[in-house]
Amino acid sequence: MVRHPDTPVTGRAAVLRRLARWCLTPLPAPPVALRRGPLRPGRFRSRLRSTRLASQLGVALGVAFGICFATGLLSHLIQHPPGWFWWPARPVGLYRFTQGLHVATGLASVPLLGAKLWSVYPRLFSWPPARSIAHAAERASTGLLVAAALFLLVSGVLNISRWYAPMPFFFTAGHYWVAWLAVGGLLVHIGVHLPAVRAALARPMAPEPRQDGLDRRALLGGVAAASGLITLTTVGQTIRPLAGLAVLAPRHPDVGPQGLPVNRTAAGAGVRAAALDPAYRLWVTGPVRSVSLDLAALYRLPQYRADLPIACVEGWSAVGTWTGVRLGDLVALVGADPRRSTALVESLQVGGRYRACTVPPEYVGDPLTLVALRLGGEPLHIDHGYPARLIAPNRPGVLQTKWISRITVAGTP
Amino acid sequence: MKTRAGLVAGGCLLMAYAVGGALTDADVAPGGVLLFLAAVLVGHDVVWMATVLAVGAALTRVPPRCRSTLRAAAITAAAVTVVGLPLALGFGRSADNASVLPLPYGRNLVAVLLAVAGTTLLACVVRRRATADRKESERPAEDRP
Ligand code: HEM
Ligand code: HEM
């Protein structure tokens, strides 16, 4: 028996084929009378716009968003580590670098996104609005990509400016999930436009008119200058030698009590009274025994010095000279092996997202991980965590718990 | 074709993961996120673009010699303002924490914008001289006295 060539081999393939055909069937064109305003042909006249420009800006944006996504995801994993995740205590300043890069790259991509969206703006008004179901879906996903990209940059800028009121959501969670949305949209977008990008970035077959080429390069130069100026005026919040130029940075690495910026104050955390209480005790609970130490007892233990940065999730960082007791020594005091113990460090704060943190064994056993009592040789300022705070290498500032009240050690003797 | 299909399929999966994740994350208020997505999209595509197009149209009236310099200056000024304005408005300042937004951002933003304007002016003047010189040297020799 001879099969008809169109006869489906299996039912599922047929369904898929029919679905594909349905998605690609041309939709009826809307009445021409609706083609008004910006939808009219020839409304956008700038000769600067071209697929080549959109592709060049697109590639730069793709790289920038890739860097932001990788560094942002890393920051998320450090703060919410799943079982498979491991983050080392060295190099000391790695997180400072990655999160500084996150914020700097995000800020530098503001002009890139602006120029890119300008360069493709006429396509918003292409006619007919949707040629087929597939085309409509593609346009919807482009809309999501644009909304997500704007969301990330605007929420990021608002967050580092600490202006939370315009954001009707919890920043970190919203920014995190929208980042996945943006990256998904970006992959779809690249998949859709790949041939156009390849063609546009290959040496042009027909050379563009000289003046157009000069104009396009001048525009790209302007975008690069804008990115450069933003970087120059902000990146000093984490690169110390450039602090003098950082006139638009939300933080200055030298400004704050004891010459160091503060994220959350004692008053803001509601711990002033408890922290200043002369009856203060640090409780350390281990597998073998528990101890409670007052400040004098803490000072009687061997004191060590560590020059370590506070590296804020908001992209600023500043180095302090900390002195105090090694966390490992306290863990050993309650009968556990520091290199095989995990410590839960809790603050005097009663509530709040960042009142406690978990310190994994790589950090507990690290000689630079301190329960710091002093900063720059003086007792800690209350806003830096008096009477005692955690300071460890290569960790975000939100995990450097201040006003420590209790350390619970889970480990083996 | 395989690459493209892979990119599109992978991208769709990531977008689905984002939506699923946001809906199941107790810290996310989906309505708030959706509202903000819509607000930035409309704000950009309607309000912001209308302004940008108006400025762009005005720029076509300046002499071609200065146009691309001026365009670069406008892009730079706009971008710096997006980053600097929330700081200059100062809603993030905190009564009990002087290390937050410690600088006079309004003044600094104006200074940066003035520096951009100054550089642009200088570039235009230099370019004008260069064009004039070129015209001079391109003139045929017999025209010279
Ligand atoms: C955040 C990142 C990006 C955003 C928000 C964005 C946005 C857009 C929008 C709104 C359009 C017009 C609608 C359309 O034609 O589909 C477009 C077109 C385009 N994009 Fe992107 N894009 C981004 C990244 C990229 C990347 C990474 C590339 C390439 C590697 C790229 C290459 C293109 C190309 C070639 C076009 C068509 C332009 C034309 O034919 O004139 N874009 N983009
Ligand atoms: C102006 C641009 C941007 C700024 C200022 C900015 C700022 C920030 C800040 C301050 C955080 C830390 C949040 C926290 O842990 O409390 C963060 C996290 C993050 N950012 Fe951005 N960002 C920007 C752009 C982007 C872009 C373009 C992407 C992705 C494509 C992105 C993806 C992420 C991710 C995945 C996180 C981790 C969130 C988490 O810890 O759950 N960001 N960003």
* Per-residue pLDDT tens digits for A186-211: 999 999 999 999 999 987 667 778 88
What CATH code is assigned to A266-410? 3.90.420.10
> What are the pLDDT digits (tens) for A44-62?
888 899 999 999 999 999 9
Query: Which residues have any ligand 2 atom within 6 Å of their CB?
Result: A 65, 68-69, 72-73, 75-76, 79, 102-103, 106-107, 152-153, 156-157, 159-160, 172, 175-176, 179, 182-183, 313-315
Contacts of B41 in chain A (CB under 8 A): 143, 146-147, 150
The reported pLDDT for the residue numbered A300 is 97
Q: Which of A65-74, A208-217, A284-293 has the highest mean pLDDT?
A: A65-74
Gap from CA of A162 to ligand 2 centroid (Å)? 14
B22 reaches A (C-beta below 8 A):
yes
Whether B113 and chain A come into contact, CB under 8 Å, resolves to no
Which residue from A104, A249, A245, A229 is spatially nearest to B119, judged by alpha carbons? A229
Q: Do A151 and B36 touch (CB under 8 A)?
A: yes
Q: Is it the case that residue B133 has pLDDT exceeding 90?
A: no
Q: Which residue of B has its CA nearest to A261?
A: B99
Strand, coil or helix: B97: strand
Within the 251-270 window of chain A, which residues sit less than 8 Å (CB to CB) from chain B?
251-252, 255-257, 260-262, 265, 267-268
**Are the C-beta atoms of A27 and A131 separated by less than 8 Å?**
yes
Check if A24 has its Cβ closer than 6 Å to any atom of ligand 1: no
Cβ of residue A186 closer than 8 Å to a chain B Cβ = yes
Of B65, B96, B99, which to mutate for an interface test with A (greatest number of A Cβ within 10 Å)?
Answer: B99
Query: Residue B143 is inside which H or E element, if any?
Result: none
For the segment B6-37, what is each residue's pLDDT rounded down to a tens digit?
999 999 999 999 999 999 999 999 999 999 99
Q: How far is A7 from chain B (nearest CA, A)?
A: 25
Structure tokens at A328: 């490992």
Taking the centre of ligand 2 as the mean of its atom positions, its distance from the CA of residue A175, in whole angstroms, is 6
Mean pLDDT of A360-371: 97
Question: CB of B76 within 8 Å of any CB in chain A?
Answer: yes
For residue B139, what pLDDT is reported? 55
Atom of ligand 2 nearest to the CA of A149: 27
CB < 8 Å from B in window 65-84 of A: none
- Mind telling me how many Å the CA of A54 is from chain B's nearest CA? 16
ipTM for this prediction: 0.92
Q: Is the pLDDT of residue B145 over 60?
A: no
Residue nearest to atom 34 of ligand 1 (CA): A55
Per-residue confidence at B49, pLDDT binned at 50, 70, 90? very high
**Chain A residue numbers touching B69 (CB-CB < 8 A):** 218
A403: left (phi over 0), alpha (psi -120 to 50) or beta: left
- Which residues in chain A touch residue B102, judged by CB atoms under 8 angstroms apart? 251-252, 255
Looking at the partner chain, which of B28, B94, B112 has a beta carbon nearest the beta carbon of A233? B112
pLDDT, residue B134, reads 74
Domains of chain A, residue spans? 47-203+217-245, 266-410
Predicted pLDDT at A211: 81
Q: Closest Cα to atom 17, ligand 1: which residue?
A: A120
Alpha-carbon Rg for chain A, nearest whole angstrom, is 28
User: Is some CB atom of chain A closer than 8 A to the CB atom of B47?
Assistant: no
Of the candidates A391, A385, A382, the one whose C-alpha atom is nearest the C-alpha of residue A405 is: A385
Q: Where are the domains of chain B?
A: 25-61, 63-145
Chain A touched by B15 (CB under 8 Å): yes
A151-162 exposure pattern, b = at least 16 Cβ within 10 A, e = fewer? bbbbbbbbbbbb
Over residues A5-28, the pLDDT tens digits come to: 444 456 889 999 999 999 999 999
Atom of ligand 2 nearest to the CA of A154: 1
Closest CA to A123 of A207, A69, A58, A214: A58
Instruction: List pLDDT tens digits, range A86-115.
Output: 999 999 999 999 999 999 999 999 999 999
Q: Quick one: pLDDT at residue A209?
A: 82
Closest CA–CA distance from residue B112 to any residue of chain A (Å): 9
